[in-house]
Structure 1
Amino acid sequence: MSSTVQLILLLLVLIGVAKIGGALSAALGQPTVLGKLLAGVLLGPSLINVMHWEIFQSSDLKSTIHYLSELGVIFLMFIAGLRIEAHELREAGKAATWTAILGVVIPFLGGLLSALAFGYGLIPAIFVGLLLTATSVSISAQTLLELGRLKSRVGTTLLGAAVLDDIIGLLLLSIFMATQTSDGNFMTIVWTIVRLVGFLAVAWFLGQRYLPRMLERVKKMRTNEPVLTFAVLVVLGLAFTAETVGHLAAITGAFMAGILLSHTDVRDEIDRSISSFTYAVLVPIFFIGIGLNTDLSSLSGAAIPMAIILCIVAIGTKIVGCGLGAKIAGLNQREAIQVGCGMISRGEVGLIVASLGVQNQIVDTNVFSLTVAVVLVTTLVTPILLKWSFKTEPLPSLHLALEPEDEVLAIG
């Protein structure tokens, strides 16, 4: 059987099972995301291990699924940005900023202290702290879309905070990695910051200034789907430059592309065209791919206690940190908890950071196994807690005073 035929069969299995899992989850009153994730775990090395079946022996299959999964999260974040009004994101500025700052600081301290308590050295402990600062908001964005809350005050705060969280967390990671290399001097750190800030400023300026003009010319082109093609090129271009120039995650560039195109007169056309293929193919592959890359058996008995503690810390510090940040910025008690629940998932971001630490010999493979456990647990609980938070009354557990539901968000 050729590699192409193997890929066709594998996609048939993965997309089909993901859709069935999502449908079953929806029938049980849960977000479809949860069903797709559990379907991935079922097919992954923890149980069925479909990628090692004799019929799927092509060495290129795993990398191909990985690349399609990466494209899925990139276009998912583009769609999320496309459906957010720019003025709504600006109005969420203060809340997003405070949420992101405390959503990085408190999880970092929680991870650092937990690692130190289990006997890790200072450098590995710092890295574990950095691991817990990561946020993968893709699952929350999908859940909010299903709940019809993406454009709510919570939704805009969550997405804005996720972008800032990504910037702050990766900036800290870049600085940390620079200090661990032979040329990690002060100027290296300064240059890292300059590139990061410079990319965001230049990309936003050029996008605001030239994208509308370019769109007007593109619409006059005599070719098939000129607007859709242009939008795809913008997404891929900003995702690429975010990684290579700005030292940011590609999803940040994709989200920015969505924001830039969200206030154009072709937004609805782009949304309809890209969403159809993305939700039919790429998004199911992305969600089920998380499970395919998760091997629960990689955790040894000695690591289980730390894995449990780290999962608890990962969940609790995001709820408390992000919740307090949102509360300080003016959101009420219930909204603060909703924001905190939406920022729990580490997803692929945590795995990428962990892989970087192993490759640079900062931490060993045991830490990667712990990260897998944290990623799996936080990914699975995020849609459950997020949906639950929209159905329950405000909780007093953060010891914060309740405020009226109609309180106006302060603009910062």
Structure 2
Amino acid sequence: MTPFLQLAFVLVIILFMAKVAGYLSTRLGQPSVLGELLIGLILGPSLIDLTHLGFITDTHLQEVVLEMGEIGVLLLMFLAGLELNISDLTKNSRVSAYAGILGVLVPVGLGWLIGSLMDMPSSHALFLGLTLGATSVSISAQTLIELKMLRSRVGLGLLGAAVFDDVLVILLLSGFLALASGHGGAADILTVFLRMLLFLGLSVAFGLYLLPRIVRKISRMPISFGVVTLSIVILFTYGLAAELIGEMAAITGTFIAGLMFGRTSAKNEVESGIRALSYSFFVPIFFVTIGLNVDLHNIELDIIGLLLLISAVGILGKIIGAGIGARIGRFSWRESLQLGIGMVSRGEVGLIVAQVGLTNQYITPQIFSAVVGMVLITTLVTPPMLRASFNSPKKTTPLEPSQEKTP
């Protein structure tokens, strides 16, 4: 088969199996995203190794599929932002700040403590802590959308906390790399912080003042799906700007782009167009590719103990840290628990931080394998834990009638 036919074959398998697995997961009372994550693990190198079957000769096939998955998570976070109102987020800014900051500091501190007790060099122990501090809320956001709770106090607090989490993790990581290399210091950390502020300022200013005018102009022009295409251009631009200007995660940029588009007159048109594109194609690919990124054969038996330890610390550290932060922000104990669980998943962000440590030799290949296992475990346990925390007669009430739709 030609490279294109090989890609078509792999996409057929991924999309079909993702939807089947998602359906079966819902029939078992779990979020559909859990089934998509598990089928990705089965299709990945841990079992079937779909992208490396005997007749697959295209060496770039897996990379192409993974990049399609990256588009999926950008679209997912754009939709999450599109569903929300900026004023609702600002009302929860206090709880978001406390939960985001403590949700980083507590697991980082616990990870450093574990590394120190294992007689790791101080720099290695600290970096192990940093790998536990990262959060990826894309999995939790999708689960909350299915539960129709994205616009609840917990959902708003969770997404706001994720922004603070992203900022703090990047600052800590940048500061660590600068100090550990011996070629930087406070000036480098200040530069990173200023770049974040520059990105946030530019993105909000553009979204508040220029974007509505551009949307109105495009909507009056005889262009097929012009506004939807514009939204795709803007969300990618925000993602690029987040990475290149603010040194933040691209998903933070696309989330902000969604918030900005949510204020425009074309919100409903953009939402229907992007939702169909996302959930029919790119988002299922993203959830499946998480499993395609993991090879359980690389997790050696002699690190199982470490894997279980850092997984337990990774889960409890986020629940305790973010949960206490939410409680300080005057959430109820139940809401604090729900928000803490929502921060547990490390997803692709955890893998990126771990890869930085491996590349710079701040963690060994064995520690890296354990961290990859921790990322997988925290990603898999988050959807059922989050659903269970809402499965009670006393649920968190949305701030207004929810308009989320189950994909």
What is the aligned partner in structure 1 of residue 369 from structure 2? 369
* 3-state secondary structure, aligned to 2:55: coil
Task: Give the whole-Å Cα distance in 2 for the aligned partners of 1:131 and 1:166.
Answer: 12
Tell me the amino acid that sits aligned with residue 158 of structure 1: L
Tell me, in whole angstroms, the C-alpha distance in 2 between the residues paired with 1:216 and 1:364.
Answer: 54
Give, in angstroms, the shift of residue 104 of structure 1. Answer: 0.7
Q: Is the 8 A contact 1:118 1:306 kept in 2?
A: no
Q: Deviations over 1:262-310 (max 9, x none)?
A: 1111111101000101001111111010111111121112211111000
8 Å contact from structure 1 (residues 107, 129) kept in 2: yes
* 1:309-368 deviation digits (Å, cap 9, x = unpaired): 000000001111111111111111111111011110000000011111122222222222
Report the alpha carbon displacement of residue 186 of structure 1 after superposing the two structures with TM: 3.3
Give secondary structure in 1 for the equivalent of 2:228: helix
| Counterpart Cα distance in 2 of 1:304 and 1:393 | 38
How much is the aligned-residue C-alpha RMSD, in angstroms? Answer: 1.6
Counterpart of 2:24 in structure 1 is 24
1:246 aligned onto 2:246: yes
Q: 2:219 is aligned with what amino acid?
A: K
**1:161 aligned partner, one-letter code:** A
Superposition pairs for residues 210-289 of structure 1, below 5 Å? 210-289=210-289
Query: 1:181 offset after TM fit, Å?
Result: 3.2
More displaced, 258-267 or 190-199?
190-199
Other-structure match for 2:159: 159
Query: Which secondary structure state, in structure 2, belongs to the residue aligned with residue 345 of structure 1?
Result: coil
- Does the CA contact (< 8 Å) of 1:46 and 1:294 recur in 2? yes
Long gaps (5+) in structure 2: 400-407
Give the partner amino acid of 1:127.
F
Report if aligned partners of 1:332, 1:405 keep a CA contact under 8 Å in 2.
no
Cross-structure match for 1:398 = none
The equivalent of 1:397 in structure 2 is: none
Q: Report the Cα distance in structure 1 between the residues aligned to 2:282 and 2:213, rounded to whole angstroms.
A: 30
Q: The residue matched to 2:166 in structure 1 has which SS? A: helix
Aligned to 1:318: 318
Instruction: Give distance in 2, aligned partners of 1:259 and 1:181.
Output: 38
Quote the Cα distance in structure 2 between the aligned partners of 1:217 and 1:181.
50
Structure-1 separation of matches of 2:197 and 2:105: 20
- Contact 1:10 / 1:56 at 8 angstroms: preserved in 2? no
For 1:192-203, list aligned pairs within 5 A. 192-203=192-203
CA–CA distance in structure 2, aligned partners of residues 115 and 3 of structure 1: 45
- Specify the alignment match of 2:402 in structure 1: none
For residue 117 of structure 1, what is the aligned residue in structure 2? 117
The residue number in structure 2 matching 1:72 is: 72
Runs of 4+ in structure 1 deviating by more than 3 angstroms, as ranges, are none
Structure 1 unmatched runs, 5+ = 395-403
Tell me, in whole angstroms, the C-alpha distance in 2 between the residues paired with 1:206 and 1:102.
Answer: 31
The residue type equivalent to 2:12 in the other structure is L
Conserved 8 A contact 1:354-1:367: no
d(CA) in 2 for partners of 1:384 and 1:259?
27
Identity of aligned residues (%): 41
Alpha-carbon separation, structure 2, partners of 1:7 and 1:299: 29
* Residue 173 of structure 1: aligned partner: 173
- CA distance in 1: counterparts of 2:396 and 2:157, whole angstroms: 16
In structure 2, how many angstroms separate the alpha carbons of the residues matched to 1:132 and 1:351?
10
Normalising by structure 2, what TM-score? Answer: 0.95
Partner SS, residue 58 of structure 1:
coil
Letter in 2 for 1:293: N
Is the partner of 1:68 in helix, strand or coil? helix
- TM-superposition CA deviations, 1:124-178 (whole Å, max 9, x none): 1111111111111001000001001011111100111111111111121122122
TM-score, structure 1 normalization: 0.94
The equivalent of 1:354 in structure 2 is 354
Q: Secondary structure at the match of 1:308?
A: helix
- Is 1:391–2:391 an aligned residue pair? yes
Does the 8 A contact of 1:199 with 1:246 survive in 2? yes
Between the aligned partners of 1:206 and 1:161, the Cα distance in structure 2 is 23
Return the alpha-carbon distance in structure 2 between the equivalents of residues 177 and 285 of structure 1: 33
How far apart are the structure 2 equivalents of 1:54 and 1:44?
Answer: 14
Q: What number of residue pairs does the alignment pair up?
A: 398
Matched residues in 1 for 2:191 and 2:181: separation? Answer: 14
Distance 1:188 1:16 in 2: 47
2:175–2:185 contact (8 Å) kept in structure 1: no
- The question of whether the paired residues in 2 share the 8 Å contact of 1:25 and 1:31 is answered with yes
Partners of 1:219 and 1:120 in 2: CA distance: 59
Matched ranges for 1:5-24 at <5 A: 5-24=5-24
Preserved contact between residue 334 and residue 393 of structure 1 (Cα < 8 Å): no
